[in-house]
Amino acid sequence: MTLPRRAQFDLPPGVIYLDGNSLGPLPAAVPGRVSAVISSEWRTGLIRSWNHAGWMALPARVGDRVGRLIGAPAGSVVMGDTLSIKVYQALAAALEMRAERRVVVSDSGNFPTDLYMANGLLSTLDRGHSLRIVEPEAVIDAIDGSVAAVMLTEVDYRTGRRHDAAAITRRAHEAGAVMIWDLAHSAGAVPVDVTAWGNEMAVGCTYKYLNGGPGAPAFIYVRPDLIERVVPALAGWMGHDAPFAFELGYRPASSIERLRVGTPPIIQLSALDAALDAWEGLTMDEVHAASVVLSERFIAEVDRRCPDLTLVSPRDPMARGSQVSFAFEHGYAAMQALIAGNVIGDFRAPNIMRFGFTPLYLTEADVVRAVDALQRVLSERLWDRVEYRIQNRVT
Amino acid sequence: MTLPRRAQFDLPPGVIYLDGNSLGPLPAAVPGRVSAVISSEWRTGLIRSWNHAGWMALPARVGDRVGRLIGAPAGSVVMGDTLSIKVYQALAAALEMRAERRVVVSDSGNFPTDLYMANGLLSTLDRGHSLRIVEPEAVIDAIDGSVAAVMLTEVDYRTGRRHDAAAITRRAHEAGAVMIWDLAHSAGAVPVDVTAWGNEMAVGCTYKYLNGGPGAPAFIYVRPDLIERVVPALAGWMGHDAPFAFELGYRPASSIERLRVGTPPIIQLSALDAALDAWEGLTMDEVHAASVVLSERFIAEVDRRCPDLTLVSPRDPMARGSQVSFAFEHGYAAMQALIAGNVIGDFRAPNIMRFGFTPLYLTEADVVRAVDALQRVLSERLWDRVEYRIQNRVT
């Protein structure tokens, strides 16, 4: 039994944490690593640590570690910036690759920032592009020969609904479009194989299932055969072929590092690097299988004990990510009451109670205890008291 | 005597650090703050810390603290991303404000990434813009009625030469151009007054004189009367008026926070916040006056004792930033030898030895000891041994 790896996480006593899909908990290796970076590499090494402590190489080195979890070969993933920035880079590169086309397809289940960034890019380009946003089920049919790029988040942040990434990628390629997958809710949650899918690019964040900490840097993947064809719209010095030659003209690196932009956040990157230790020796198939056991148990218990809640995630575990969501009219207040009882999930408007299942630090016993608490919130109408406090502004 | 504040920094014993213009040393308040963020806010607060620990408000709160050092009023500066990204945001906004014009003026003394990012933006726009790069002395004459934006770094990263920001801003405005100042080598080094200058935007980094640590987030300033007119090209969810409403459409915040993009790097931002404590109670005039005493003493000692070195910084202290640079044919090897002797400056191609003077933690006695070491490197030709090792690949 390789799971759970509870000892590799420092969870507060008594808390059942079902929000690792939003912010992963603290991996036990992080404080020591960050402390060493600050008190040894920064304090003592000072400027020399850019070379001597390997800071300059960290974005690509950590990228390789993330790459292993999404089926990407070494040298095809690099870390930096935020997911919003990586979305912009990927879409700008895709539109440059399909300069004669004017349509971007996405769906209403995409995380809003992806759509905002896309619209911001299209407005900046001002070249008549349009963003075609369809329902998730309608994506396949929306991809035609006018489409430059399809940009989707594989797992829906609200419902956990998972796209058929292989099929959509095939359809995008049949239509001659570039496929970009946002793996924010996939990396570390479900088996991902960008190599098998063949998508041109992928992006994702690392503060959810990868437990990199608040504001941990994002990643970008480019299919190896395309790396040298990607034109960086955000042409920062760290993506230059020779950043310290200080040439006036930009020449992108021949490697994936051309998608680096500015000076990397070394403290956050080091925290993420330490956090990734928890994945050593595991396959995503193992992790996902354990996650399915947890989420199936949760659904079965809720179905049986909490009839007021309506499952809005797919019932087929293969059709969803590593989270389960229920609709409930008083969901916001119910979640507050649940959190007050040390079972932490989260809420997404208008009425969704969201629970993430992360088998690295959760057991089936945790799941049963979480439903015990949820059942009590509902049967004792604890949400009612919270709503009373909200309505009467009592804190 | 308010300076130096050596006790507020944790410098390794025996080191004289003259590279705070590249990476500031560790402020003593940082380890404790970072440790609290990790072990209390992240570990115990978990997802709740976005609200309860003030994480969501941190970019604007820290922005106000940086703002004080550059003459910006509260509510006009926000933190995030890297300087390269902030350059892109500022220039994209400027070009949108002057949509009918097609020229961007910069100079050959600008830091390369600013020029790279500008060229990347102009290529992405593909609307016939050109980047007019002139010598620093020729900037004023290069600004004419075709110019949409003037984008300059106030203090030259190699020579320390300082632009007359007020005069150039005036000239830009006479010509109807938007003025963007990059304050990377100014913030915390020299008195800056964006309010008095009247420039539309300013950007800068915080890992140099502000000691925020490797990869600390950047800042962007927008003149208060223009904040609601700035169209964010990088339209990320954290700049949305209601990020957690998860609307499909982007509506920028009415405040400076519209220039936020993705999830902020909380650990690095907190380190920076703690680092800024060292500036409490100081004015930039005091800091600069102390810096001038140090750099003038350094130049006088080097002139007298190291005749092989040629000053390439302006001799007038008011015409330079808080660094002093000397040209020397064997500068690279000489700097390596100096660093081996615990006096840390840095080298910039082709032949520049660069020394930063940061009065928060340096004294005149440090300066004299640094020149003692430099004199020894030169008189004993210690650089010769380093070059021998480099040429013969001996490590």
**Residue A317 confidence (pLDDT):** 97
Using CB atoms within 10 Å of the CB of residue B394, give its burial: 0 to 12 exposed, 13 to 18 middle, 19+ buried: exposed
Nearest to A84 among B47, B236, B271 (CB): B236
Integer Cα distance of A146 and B297 in angstroms: 67
Phi, psi (deg, nearest 5) at residue B200: -70, -40
Element (H, E) at B151: strand B147-153
Angle between helices A331-340 and A382-391 (to 10 degrees): 110
Nearest to A106 by CA among A148, A166, A159: A148
- Name the amino acid, one letter, at B339: I
Residue B37 has pLDDT above 90, yes or no: yes
Listed in order, the ranges of chain B carrying CATH 3.90.1150.10 are: 6-28+283-388
Nearest to B84 among A112, A205, A261 (CB): A261
Sheet-wide strand order for B201-204:
B77-80, B218-222, B201-204, B178-182, B147-153, B103-107, B130-134
Phi, psi (deg, nearest 5) at residue A181: -105, 130
Note whether B16 and B6 are within 8 A (CB): no
B81:A85 CB<8 A? yes
Chain A: closest CA distance from residue B47 (Å)? 6
Q: Which residue has the tokens 């009467």?
A: A392
Which tens digits make up the pLDDT trace of B289-307?
999 999 999 999 999 999 9
**Residue A387 confidence (pLDDT):** 83
Determine the average pLDDT of the residues in A251-270: 98
Phi, psi (deg, nearest 5) at residue B217: -70, 160
Calculate Rg over the CA atoms of chain A.
22
Q: What is the 3-state secondary structure (H, E, C) of chain A?
A: CCCCCHHHECCCCCCEECCCCCCCCCECCHHHHHHHHHHHHHHHHHHHHHHHCCCCCHHHHHHHHHHHHCCCCCCCEEEECCHHHHHHHHHHHHHHHCCCCCEEEEECCCCHHHHHHHHHHHHHHCCCCEEEEECHHHHHHHCCCCEEEEEEECECCCCCEECCHHHHHHHHHHCCCEEEEECCCCCCCCCCCHHHHCCCEEEECCCCCCCCCCCCCEEEEECHHHHHHCCCCCCCHHHECCHHHCCCCCCECCCHHHHCCCCCCHHHHHHHHHHHHHHCCCCHHHHHHHHHHHHHHHHHHHHHHCCCCEECCCCCHHHECCEEEEECCCHHHHHHHHHHCCEECEEECCCEEEEECCCCCCCHHHHHHHHHHHHHHHHCCHHHHHHHHHHCCCC
**Residue A249 confidence (pLDDT):** 92
Q: Chain B interface, mutation test: which of A46, A111, A251, A260, most B Cβ atoms within 10 Å?
A: A46
Which tens digits make up the pLDDT trace of A347-365?
998 999 999 999 999 999 9
Integer Cα distance of B216 and B50 in angstroms: 19
Angle between helices A364-379 and A331-340 (to 10 degrees): 120
Q: Sort out which chain A residues have CB atoms less than 8 A from B263's CB and list them.
A: 82-83, 205, 207, 214-215
- Say if A211 is an interface residue toward chain B (CB within 8 Å): no
Which tens digits make up the pLDDT trace of A107-154?
999 999 999 999 999 999 999 999 999 999 999 999 999 999 999 999
Closest residue in chain A to residue B157, using alpha carbons only: A246
Which tens digits make up the pLDDT trace of B377-387?
999 999 888 88
Element (H, E) at B280: none
Q: Which residue has the tokens 């300069």?
A: A99
Which tens digits make up the pLDDT trace of B319-336?
999 999 999 999 999 999
Residue B394 has pLDDT above 70, yes or no: no
Beta strands A178-182 and A201-204, pairing class: parallel
- Say if A349 is an interface residue toward chain B (CB within 8 Å): yes
Using pLDDT thresholds of 50, 70 and 90, give the confidence band for residue B388. Answer: confident
Q: What is the DSSP secondary structure assignment for residue B147, as one 8-state letter?
A: E
Q: What is the DSSP secondary structure assignment for residue B225, as one 8-state letter?
A: G
Chain B: closest CA distance from residue A53 (Å)? 12
Integer Cα distance of A207 and B136 in angstroms: 43
Closest residue in chain B to residue A114, using alpha carbons only: B236
Determine the average pLDDT of the residues in A320-339: 97
Q: Name residue B204's beta-bridge partners.
A: B219
Which tens digits make up the pLDDT trace of B173-216?
999 999 999 999 999 999 999 999 999 999 999 999 999 999 99
Which tens digits make up the pLDDT trace of B83-123?
999 999 999 999 999 999 999 999 999 999 999 999 999 99
ipTM, interface predicted TM-score of the complex? 0.97
Residue A201 has pLDDT above 60, yes or no: yes
A361 catalytic per annotation? no
- Say if B112 is an interface residue toward chain A (CB within 8 Å): yes
Phi, psi (deg, nearest 5) at residue A277: -55, -30
Q: Which residues neighbour B364 within 8 Å (Cβ) at sequence distance 6 or greater?
A: B293, B294, B297
Whether this model's pTM surpasses 0.90? yes
Determine the average pLDDT of the residues in B47-68: 97
In the CATH hierarchy, which fold is given to the domain comprising A54-279? Answer: Aspartate Aminotransferase; domain 2 (3.40.640)
Q: How high is the mean pLDDT of chain A?
A: 96
Determine the average pLDDT of the residues in B68-75: 98
**Residue B142 confidence (pLDDT):** 98
Q: Which residues neighbour B72 within 8 Å (Cβ) at sequence distance 6 or greater?
A: B66, B194, B195, B202, B221
Using pLDDT thresholds of 50, 70 and 90, give the confidence band for residue A229. Answer: very high
B116:A250 CB<8 A? yes
Q: Name residue A253's beta-bridge partners.
A: none
Which tens digits make up the pLDDT trace of A291-302?
999 999 999 999
**Residue A395 confidence (pLDDT):** 53
Residue A181 has pLDDT above 80, yes or no: yes
Beta strands A103-107 and A130-134, pairing class: parallel
Question: Could you give the angle at the alpha carbon of A47 between the alpha carbons of A42 and A51, nearest 5°?
Answer: 95
CATH of domain B6-28+283-388: 3.90.1150.10
Using pLDDT thresholds of 50, 70 and 90, give the confidence band for residue A394. Answer: low
**Other beta carbons less than 10 A from residue A357's beta carbon:** 26
Nearest to B124 by CA among A232, A249, A119, A180: A232
Note whether B115 and B133 are within 8 A (CB): yes
Listed in order, the ranges of chain B carrying CATH 3.40.640.10 are: 54-279
B262 in the Ramachandran plot: left (φ > 0), alpha (ψ -120 to 50) or beta? beta
Percent of chain B clearing pLDDT 90 (strictly above)? 94
Nearest to B383 by CA among B292, B291, B309: B309
Q: Sort out which chain A residues have CB atoms less than 8 A from B35's CB and list them.
A: 31, 35
Integer Cα distance of A85 and A114 in angstroms: 9
Note whether B217 and A265 are within 8 A (CB): yes
Q: Which residues neighbour A36 within 8 Å (Cβ) at sequence distance 6 or greater?
A: none
Using pLDDT thresholds of 50, 70 and 90, give the confidence band for residue B1. Answer: very low
Integer Cα distance of B154 and A116 in angstroms: 33
Judged by CB atoms within 8 Å, which residues 215-234 of A form the interface with B? 215-218, 231-234
Integer Cα distance of B22 and B251 in angstroms: 37
Chain A: closest CA distance from residue B245 (Å)? 7
Integer Cα distance of B310 and B320 in angstroms: 16
Percent of chain A clearing pLDDT 90 (strictly above)? 94
Chain B: closest CA distance from residue A39 (Å)? 7
**Residue A1 confidence (pLDDT):** 43
Closest residue in chain B to residue A88, using alpha carbons only: B234
Q: Which residues neighbour B384 within 8 Å (Cβ) at sequence distance 6 or greater?
A: B330, B333
